Amino acid sequence: MSIVIENVEKTFIDSKKNEVTALKSINFTIHEEEFVVLVGPSGCGKSTLLNIVGGLLSPTSGSVYFDGIKENPTLGIVFQEIALFPWRTVFENVVYGLQERGASKKQQQEIGNHYIDMVGLTDFKDAYPKQLSGGMKQRAGIARALAVEPDLLLMDEPFSALDAQTRTLMQEELLTIWNRTRLSTLYVTHNIEEAVYLADRVIVLSRHPGQIKQIINIDLPKTGRNDEKYREQSSKYADEIWQLIRHDAEAALKE
Ligand SMILES: Nc1ncnc2c1ncn2[C@@H]1O[C@H](COP(=O)(O)OP(=O)(O)OP(=O)(O)O)[C@@H](O)[C@H]1O
């Protein structure tokens, strides 16, 4: 599915009744099978934009088109805090969306097991959330998002609550999964290295108001990355993005 974000603006009214322009003149397209990452300093409107694309918030003006129409597609959403139902097992959590859509028991078994295998939780499918580590919970959340076979995957800082090593492993796993599913994806992160690692394109937002500062094509292979050339190129992209964000990030720190 391709998603066109056209002239999106969002204004909030803050607690002092002032207007806050969170997003202004946002125009970009997420192409079929493309992984787009939003980066930018704190408060630049990344989550607001992701929520507008996901239909969880309405824009003040502008539109989002899914394959040319405004109707909502099937979405897979993964947030930082994965809200698994504590009384359901991993399998029961993963197939929840399928049950809601009236899938048969057989379909639930087939699809649920497929995605549980894909995220490496086969041995934990009957475990309850409290028995899982942070990384496992995120994997279960990813399997649940994939199980509805979405047109678009939305991920908002999915790994930011994890320790650094687990986060690195989860990034690798997500890329492997993404290479298999090739879903159009919009992903929000503060982490520039993570953005470069995952993205086909990185959209850098500036703040006050949140606007697109630059869109950077990440021309790196999605597999076979263990060479010096990959490391050199990816750190060049990361430097380029940091130079774009630095000034705004420093300003955000002083507020
Ligand atoms: N419900 C709301 N009411 C008022 N202002 C809001 C609301 N939601 C967001 N904002 C403001 O809109 C701006 C963008 O917020 P948003 O959370 O989208 O930024 P972000 O880039 O995701 O931030 P972070 O990286 O810190 O999570 C901020 O100035 C924020 O204070």
Tell me the C-alpha distance between 15 and 32, whole Å: 40
**ipTM, two decimals:** 0.96
Distance 53 CA to ligand 1 centre (A): 15
What is the model's pTM?
A: 0.93
pLDDT the model gives residue 205: 96
Tell me the C-alpha distance between 169 and 144, whole Å: 19
pLDDT the model gives residue 70: 74
Average pLDDT across each block of 10 residues of the chain; the chain has 255 residues. List them in order.
Answer: 96 90 96 96 93 94 89 87 91 94 94 93 96 92 93 94 88 91 95 96 94 96 84 95 89 78
Domain boundaries, the chain: 1-73+152-227, 76-150
pLDDT the model gives residue 15: 87
- Residue owning the nearest CA to atom 14 of ligand 1: 45
Any residues with Cβ below 6 Å from ligand 1, and which? 12, 14, 20, 22, 40, 42-48, 190
Ligand 1 atom at minimum distance from 48 CA: 18
Tell me the C-alpha distance between 104 and 97, whole Å: 12
Whose CA is closest to 184, among 158, 149, 151? 151
Distance 22 CA to ligand 1 centre (A): 7
Homologous superfamily, domain 1-73+152-227: P-loop containing nucleotide triphosphate hydrolases (3.40.50.300)
Cα dihedral 226/228/234/240 (nearest 10):
170
- Residue owning the nearest CA to atom 16 of ligand 1: 45
Tell me the C-alpha distance between 49 and 186, whole Å: 10
- Residue 220's CB is within 10 A of a number of other CB atoms, namely 15
pLDDT the model gives residue 179: 92
Tell me the C-alpha distance between 128 and 84, whole Å: 9
Tell me the C-alpha distance between 19 and 110, whole Å: 49
Q: Which of 47, 60, 160 to mutate to test the pocket of ligand 1 (most atoms within 8 A of CB)?
A: 47
Instruction: Show the tokens assigned to 95.
Output: 């197939």
Cα dihedral 107/183/171/57 (nearest 10):
-100
Distance 20 CA to ligand 1 centre (A): 9
pLDDT the model gives residue 60: 97
